[in-house]
Chain A
Amino acid sequence: MSLSSLLRQSNAEALSLSQQTAQYLRKHASTGISTIHIPFLSYPESTDVWLMYEKLLLSCLRTGDDKAAFNCLEKLIDRFGATNERVMGLRGLYQEAVAKDDAALERVLQEYDEVLAEDTVNTPVAKRRIALLRSLSRTTEAIDALTELLESSPTDIEAWTELSDLYLSQNLFPQAVFCLEEVLLVAPNAWNIHAQLGEVLYISAMNGNESSEGRSLAEAARRFCRSVELCDDYLRGYYGLKLTSDRMLSTNPNDTRSTGQVATVDNGELPVLPTAVVRRLNEQATFKLAEITRTSNSSCNVADINAAKDLLNRSTQRKQR
């Protein structure tokens, strides 16, 4: 069984993982009963086993196998105790999953509040509380709680990404950009974050006023460039690059003043991309997208591939017309 990140797991993987749960639980029935193991008689305890339980728990919840999830949770509670921060977070997740209606969710929320009143540093529970607020669609409260969390731990990438997502859902683009920049400061080579920042910039350019659109688009295009520079054949990066450059070409197809503008801009901002460069970027993105969709294997997300194919079809239709 692979221990790859859960976020990258496809639905099929999650399902197959959760179907193995019963088997896994039977196989490892003996581990975790004694806290001190006897040499030669039992396997030495390894952290992998417990990580596996955690992953199984999450996969089971995702596929709706609540009973197996409960078994995994019980194992974890047996081993680490109910007061362990991480276990508390997982337990909360389970309770949220089995909650029938909003009233039950409110009760879970109250429990979180009680836990946090006693122990203010309990990050897993604080994060669960924020996620729960969000799923109860109390977005402003979630944003407040997240900013409070980030005030005390400003290097938490997960929280910054979530906050950026929340801001984006409220159409607060500069704030979302700020949060993603904060993520990049911790992980400067995260190509997916570069692409995500490019997406946010692109969306803000679409929804913003005319004057700043060109600048935002150029910035977005550069972000996508950076993401594919860091990761060859990164589908999302090329998709965004194609989308952005299409837009730039359609807004000013024959922009002649751009060459003169390059020299004048000198206040630290990067110049707007010259049209020739945009055209070449567009060509390369189209080429690469076609190549990726042609040679795609099962490891890629099917939805992403289809979206890319769709984009390519649309652009060829437009050209034919």
Chain B
Amino acid sequence: MAVPMVQSIHRDPALFYWILFPISIVMILTGVLRHYATVLLQTTPKKQELPALREQRSLLRGINLRSNSSAIPSTAFASRRQYLVSAYKDGTFLKDPENRGKPAGNPMTDPAAMEGMMGMMKGNMAMMIPQTLIMGWINAFFAGFVIMKLPFPLTIRFKSMLQSGVATRDLDVRWVSSLSWYFLNLFGLQSVFIFILGNDNAANQMAQQMSQMNPGAGAGMFQPGQDADKMFQSEAENLEVVEHEYILKGVEDRLLA
């Protein structure tokens, strides 16, 4: 077996100082700037009107009654169920009772939903524009530079990760190209931002993508375009089939056991 040949490329050491550091610094600075831009662009969350609040919480009350029914006696449960089911069926708690039965409007026409979307747009824009600019900058100035050699060996799979922009088949995987360095920075600076800006920063795009994966955590129970009346009807049906079990039944035996 042949001894693996050690590749050596004669690089100007200035490459290191004039490409590696500038890219890193620019990435960090844009992250910080983006954080502040997002803070400034944020609109204060709009307050909910009283009927909307009532609608949500009344539904929540039904859900609570269904899931925690065991805490109250069966007579108390029965009277509450009767009240809630009939109120749900009549649409007593609805935000706008006259709109009942009509199909839900286009979320685009709802000003509240529109505002939420604008907020999301702003966040995405603050993310995309700097990324496009920086990538363009790197492509224009530093395309195809090999800027450093990693001090440890890697398998061939890492080639696409570390050598994007350098189309050479035989180059050792340990060499890192400038464009790859940019990508590594883009995805790997989260902990640096946490260090500089604190925990809930808006600098890194990964965090934002994570939050987009599970929306609705802070947005309340009603998504725009969802029909509240239908939710009430289904909750009424759920309530009707609940089988009641009282938790105090036999509690004295449990305690004495």
A residues adjacent to B (C-beta < 8 A): 36, 39-40, 44-46, 120-121, 151-156, 178, 181, 184-186, 188, 219, 221-223, 225-226, 228-229, 268-270, 273, 277, 280-281, 284
Taken residue by residue from 135 to 162, chain B's Cβ proximity to chain A (1 for < 8 Å, 0 otherwise) reads as 0000000000000000000000000000
| CA of A229 to CA of B247, assembled, Å | 11
Give 3 closest A-B pairs by Cβ, nearest first. A44-B198, A268-B74, A184-B71
Say yes or no: A188 contacts B71, CB within 8 Å.
yes
B52-74 near A? 1/0 per residue, CB < 8 Å: 01100110110011001111111
Among the stretches B5-13, B15-23, B43-51, B114-122, the one at the interface with A is B43-51
Return chain B residues, CB-CB under 8 Å to A36: 36, 39
Interface string of B197-241 (1 = CB under 8 A from A): 111000000000000000000000000000000000000000000
On whether the beta carbons of B68 and A185 are closer than 8 Å, the reply is yes
Complex Cα spacing A156 to B48, Å: 16
Are A120 and B61 closer than 8 Å at their CB atoms?
A: no
User: Which residues on A sit within 8 Å (CB–CB) of B169?
Assistant: none
Q: Tell me whether B246 is interfacial, beta carbon within 8 Å.
A: yes
Q: Known contacts A152-B53, A185-B71: does B251 contact A284 (CB below 8 Å)?
A: no
A193 to chain B, nearest CB (A): 9
B68 touches A152 (CB 8 A): no
Interface of B is mostly: helix
Contact B36 A222 (CB under 8 A): no
Shortest C-beta distance, B48 to chain A (Å), equals: 7
Picked from B58, B69, B197, B255, the residue with its CB within 8 Å of the CB of A225 is B255
- Can you list 19 A-B contacts (CB < 8 A)? A36-B36, A44-B199, A46-B198, A121-B53, A153-B57, A155-B60, A156-B57, A184-B68, A184-B71, A185-B69, A185-B72, A221-B252, A222-B252, A223-B248, A225-B254, A229-B254, A229-B255, A269-B75, A281-B252
Q: Which residues of B does A touch, CB under 8 Å? A: 32, 36, 39, 47-50, 53-54, 57-58, 60-61, 64-65, 68-76, 78, 196-199, 246-249, 251-256
Identify which of B36, B64, B254 gathers the most chain A CB atoms within 10 Å of its CB: B64
A39 to B54, CA, bound (A): 42
Q: A154 vs B59: C-alpha distance in the bound complex, in angstroms?
A: 9
Partner of B255, one of A152, A188, A228, A268: A228
Is A281 within 8 A of B68, CB to CB? no
Complexed CA–CA distance, A186 and B214 (Å): 25
Partner of B71, one of A181, A229, A280: A181
Complex Cα–Cα for A181 and B78 (A): 13
Q: How many Å lie between the Cα of A153 and that of B56 in the bound state?
A: 9
A156 to B107 CA separation, bound complex (whole angstroms):
30
> With the chains together, A185 CA to B252 CA distance in Å?
21
